[in-house]
Copies of this chain bind each other. A is one copy, B any other.
């Protein structure tokens, strides 16, 4: 006899533009029992990322199984193992990985789900979806490995108040770079300045190309791109010799009716600039290094988590929509239940 129920959010229909309530279907079912070689997970936090709207659209993306109408939506979570018939997963262990938008899950611990145990640190479990999870690892591998920052580099980060961006700007400071953050609105600009940006650009007022040229009179050494579109276009007009562009996301393009066309990509030529894309799971063999460095910076206080926490399982659809309206800051999380190490707020 189980007291609780497994709550789930499923794909009701394919989103057209940003997600709206009617795109989601709420269901409940009995909490499943793990069979041989399986274990039962209880979710604490679910991370929101732009890729989830694409999952809902049925796209085969980010290595996940394409979703049919009626499927539970994909999403990474921090979860506790509360029952186990699997030798590698013990009751009481906390992991992060693919749990989906649900409050419980039975798993076989497949490679596809990419479970990873939480490091034994005295920090909020939410960090496993932030600095010590895929968001933080994206910041780490994209900026450090792909961007190859040097002390003194002029670094520009777009989406600087977002989940990845808020960590990139802090790592850039750690590496001795001069950091220019781009964000929307005075509140976010104040946030990123408090995280260490030397200069901030509010893309919501005035012309981004003019502001960028003014902020970087000698050009840009390294651009970390979370937004694509007009901002990337403006950056391409302000490059320094041997500069690097790292493509992480392009949130300004995702809701456009027709694909954005990058008309000035040939600007990469005159400065011998490299534009590199990356996907965090391409770095899976190096996850331990990222976790080690990010943990060290978290514990020393050099890296501050920036979390936008929505409370309760019911908040998931609105939290996802917020990614596209620019109303959240830092990493967007839904807290299903509070973890033992969590700060009281």
Q: What are the residues of chain B within 8 A of A269 when measuring CB–CB? A: 247-248, 277-279
A279 touches B274 (CB 8 A): no
Contact flag A250-B266 (CB < 8 Å), given A241-B282, A282-B241 = yes
B274 touches A276 (CB 8 A): yes
Given contacts A269-B278, A270-B282, 13 further A-B contacts (CB under 8 A): A146-B272, A247-B269, A253-B266, A261-B262, A261-B263, A265-B275, A271-B277, A271-B282, A272-B278, A272-B279, A273-B276, A274-B274, A274-B276
B265 touches A272 (CB 8 A): no
Nearest B residue to A278, CB-CB? B272
A266 touches B146 (CB 8 A): no
Q: Count A-side interface residues using an 8 Å CB cutoff.
A: 29
A259 touches B268 (CB 8 A): no
Query: Would you call A260 an interface residue if the criterion is a C-beta within 8 Å of the partner chain's C-beta atoms?
Result: yes
- How many Å lie between the Cα of A188 and that of B259 in the bound state? 34
Of the candidates B260, B273, B276, the one whose C-beta lies within 8 Å of that of A263 is B260
Of listed A253, A267, A279, residue having the most chain B CB within 10 A = A279
- Chain copies in complex: 2
Q: What are the residues of chain B within 8 A of A267 when measuring CB–CB? A: 277
Query: Would you call A165 an interface residue if the criterion is a C-beta within 8 Å of the partner chain's C-beta atoms?
Result: no
Return 20 A-B CB contacts under 8 Å, by A number. A228-B266, A241-B282, A247-B266, A250-B266, A259-B264, A261-B261, A261-B263, A262-B262, A262-B263, A262-B265, A265-B275, A268-B275, A268-B277, A270-B277, A272-B276, A272-B279, A273-B277, A274-B275, A274-B276, A275-B276
- How many Å lie between the Cα of A250 and that of B263 in the bound state? 12
Nearest B residue to A283, CB-CB? B272
Q: What are the residues of chain B within 8 A of A276 when measuring CB–CB? A: 268, 272-275
- How many Å lie between the Cα of A253 and that of B265 in the bound state? 12
- How many Å lie between the Cα of A78 and that of B262 in the bound state? 38
Nearest B residue to A232, CB-CB? B265
Q: What are the residues of chain B within 8 A of A241 when measuring CB–CB? A: 282
B268 touches A265 (CB 8 A): no
Q: What are the residues of chain B within 8 A of A268 when measuring CB–CB? A: 247, 275-277
Contact flag A272-B261 (CB < 8 Å), given A266-B247, A266-B250, A277-B267 = no
Of listed A253, A274, A279, residue having the most chain B CB within 10 A = A274
Q: What are the residues of chain B within 8 A of A253 when measuring CB–CB? A: 266
Contact flag A275-B272 (CB < 8 Å), given A228-B266, A261-B260 = no
Q: Which 10 A-B pairs have the closest CB atoms?
A: A261-B261, A268-B277, A269-B277, A259-B263, A274-B276, A262-B262, A275-B275, A261-B263, A272-B282, A272-B278
- How many Å lie between the Cα of A270 and that of B51 in the bound state? 13
- How many Å lie between the Cα of A265 and that of B266 in the bound state? 12
Q: What are the residues of chain B within 8 A of A271 when measuring CB–CB? A: 277, 279, 282
